[in-house]
Structure 1
Amino acid sequence: MTYKMVVFDWDGTILDSTGAITRAIQHACLDAGLPDPGEEIASYVIGLGLSDALRHAAPGASEAQIALLIESYRKHYLSKDHELELFSGAIPLLKQLNAMGVICTVATGKSRQGLNRAMANSDTARYFMGSRCADECHSKPHPQMILELMEEFGIDAAHVVMIGDTTHDLNMANAAGVHALSVQTGAHPPKLLNQVPHLQSFRSINELAPWLIQTISAQS
């Protein structure tokens, strides 16, 4: 099995955004007159499509309240997103994978507009050949994002690995029949990540990178 494509999650994996998203969800709930879901629940839903995430964070909210939550969330998050930074080691890893001819892609709970904005802010679009967003596909953990990326590039499951920071990512990978790796840099703690089968878990991208590069090099 040679990895020809790496599918990255975005928030909490490439971009250090978990705290900002969590706070935006909490503020949005308060703005809508709903209870603060608390940090644990607000962070747990990261990675899902925005409307699905907010429905989980605010169970029982009406459709009108969900619309208000979405508007308020975007106001809070977009006021800070330009200040967010990539995780250490993200760019060197992407550059090395590109140089090795590995296809780098993104599967994210962000909207297309949100991902485009995030890539523009971080000047990272050049490193990715493809992407799928939550407003184009079923929300994670449905496998549609990965399956569409595999079809787009003509790569079968044996040659794909997913990297993410949540159980939503790992469950999506399992549903798509591809390998998965986790990084402990985002929304879900190691104890939760380890409840979902995957190859290995790493504390950071800097820890993951040599393992992934060595594995791909050994397979070549």
Structure 2
Amino acid sequence: MEKCYELIVFDWDGTVMDSTAVIATSIQSACRDLALPVPSDEDARHVIGMGLAEALRHAVPAAPEDMYEPLADRYRHYFLAQDQTIPLFSGARETIAELHEAGHLLAVATGKSRKGLDRVLESSGLRSYFHASRTADETFSKPHPAMLQELMDELGMQPEQVLMVGDTTHDLQMAINAGVDAVGVTHGAHPEDQLRELQPLALLDDFNELRAWLKTNA
């Protein structure tokens, strides 16, 4: 595998892990518990990739301010009940292992919390492949470029050496804001037409396509 990008940064939910449906239904169930307006499937999926506090404000903008903390608690209740059963996308483990073996630096930029990311990195057995990570409770939420900027600073990379891989417009817009190339995967939270508007280098349907693209271009 010829190496063109030194650092490849992955989003997690909806990109590496098939968690989109669980996140969306957890938001909706939390709203029902608290008698708050329940967002549509599309609206619940749209906020995936943001930090939890920001995501809930976007998904349920009419909620009273003092309801966002209990809403987050109810969301965590539903999500954590299923967390250990959520699979990686087919081919994700093999692709990440191959990139690591080829000498790429690998990182994660995610809307998850640090506690949440550490939990899934451990349970998935992927922790050893990643050199760095940033979570939404450590810095600005996507699409602010801070996650990518901080990862580049930590690993000594320039924007032209970095590729972002994500399933949402938040991921692609973050890459644009940081001056970083990006590819989109269409198996996650945001529809292909929305991803296409941000003109990623490629739009790929699954990890088999991503793996083939990376072998040629990364």
Confirm or deny a common fold (TM above 0.5).
yes
Q: RMSD between aligned alpha carbons?
A: 1.0
Match of 1:51 in 2: 53
Q: In the alignment, residue 116 of structure 1 is paired with which amino acid?
A: D
Aligned counterpart, 2:160: 158
Deviations 1:159-197 (A, max 9, x none): 100000000000000000000000001100101111112
Secondary structure of the equivalent of 1:79? helix
SS at match of 1:161: strand
Residue 100 of structure 1 corresponds to 102
Aligned length: 216
**Quick one: which of 7, 10, 21 aligns to 2:9?**
7
Structure 2 residue aligned with 1:179: 181
Question: CA offset at residue 62 of structure 1?
Answer: 2.3
- Paired amino acid for 1:21: I
**Which of 169, 191, 194 pairs up with 2:193?**
191
Q: Secondary structure at the match of 1:40?
A: helix
In structure 1, give the amino acid aligned to 2:65: E
SS in 2 for 1:28: helix
**Which is worse superposed, 188-197 or 167-176?**
188-197
Q: Find the residue that maps to 2:107 and give its secondary structure.
A: strand
Runs of 4+ in 1 over 3 A off after TM superposition: none
Map 1:75-114 to 2 at 5 A: 75-114=77-116
* Structure 1 residue 198, shift from structure 2 partner: 1.2
- Structure 2: how far apart are the matches of 1:119 and 1:63? 33
1:25 to 11, 15, 27: 27
The equivalent residue for 2:144 is 142
CA–CA separation in structure 2 for the residues paired with 1:3 and 1:20: 32
In structure 2, give the amino acid aligned to 1:22.
Answer: A
Whole-Å separation in 1 of the counterparts to 2:139 and 2:195: 23
Cα distance in 1 for partners of 2:31, 2:176 equals: 32
* CA-CA distance at 1:2 after TM superposition: 2.7
* CA positional deviation for 1:60: 2.5
Q: Offset of 1:63 from its aligned partner?
A: 2.5
TM-superposed deviation, 1:150: 0.3
Q: Per-residue displacement from partner, 1:1-51 (whole Å, max 9, x unpaired)?
A: 930000000000000000000000001111121011111100010000000
The separation in 2 between residues aligned to 1:32 and 1:124, in whole angstroms, is 36
C-alpha deviations, 1:117-168, integer Å up to 9, x for none? 1112211111111000000010000000000000001010001000000000
In 1, Cα distance between the equivalents of 2:32 and 2:102?
47
C-alpha distance in 1 between matches for 2:217 and 2:193: 25
Q: Take 2:216 and 2:98, find their aligned partners in 1: how far apart are those partners?
A: 11
SS at match of 2:62: coil
CA distance in 1, matches of 2:193, 2:217: 25
Contact 2:37 2:62 (8 Å CA) reproduced? no
> Taking structure 1 as the reference length, what is the TM-score of the superposition?
0.96
- 1:65 corresponds to which letter in structure 2? M
Q: Secondary structure at the match of 1:80?
A: helix
Aligned equivalents of 2:9, 2:81: Cα separation in 1: 28
